């Protein structure tokens, strides 16, 4: 049980770091972690999504593990394609 929870925490941590790293690589205007997390919406998606993925992956149930991996995929696509796209309302600066 503890080994599974530790592994899922490691997966979620790597996924979160990967999301941030991919966001930095694919967006020239982003220079720091602060730029990722400076909106409440971006921070909420990152924190709640990572915690949900940890819970889903650590259950041991295959359906919930797949759901957790889909959630990680959603977080990656959100930060790469939605949050920083020029046509997205989230990327507009007020």
SS (H, E, C) 52-83: HHHHHHHCCCHHHHHHHHHHHHHHHHHHHHHC
| pLDDT by position in tens, the chain (length 94) | 556 666 666 776 676 666 666 665 555 555 555 555 566 566 666 677 777 777 776 677 777 777 777 777 777 666 666 555 555 555 555 4
Give the total number of structural domains in the chain: 1
Residue 41 sits in which domain range? 2-91
Rounded to two decimals, what is the model's pTM? 0.40
The span from the CA of 53 to the CA of 69, in Å, is 7
What is the model's pLDDT at position 74?
Answer: 72
- Token output for 44: 């909420």
* Length of the chain measured in residues: 94
What was the pLDDT predicted at 39? Answer: 60
């Amino acid at each position: 049980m503890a080994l599974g929870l530790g592994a899922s925490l490691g997966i979620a941590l790597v996924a979160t770091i990967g999301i941030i790293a991919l966001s930095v690589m694919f967006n020239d205007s982003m220079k720091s972690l602060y730029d990722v997390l400076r909106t409440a919406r971006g921070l909420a998606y990152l924190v709640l999504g990572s915690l949900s993925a940890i819970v889903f992956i650590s259950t041991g149930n295959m359906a919930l593990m797949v759901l957790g991996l889909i959630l990680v995929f959603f977080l990656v696509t959100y930060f790469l394609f939605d949050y920083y796209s020029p046509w997205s309302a989230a990327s507009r600066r007020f």
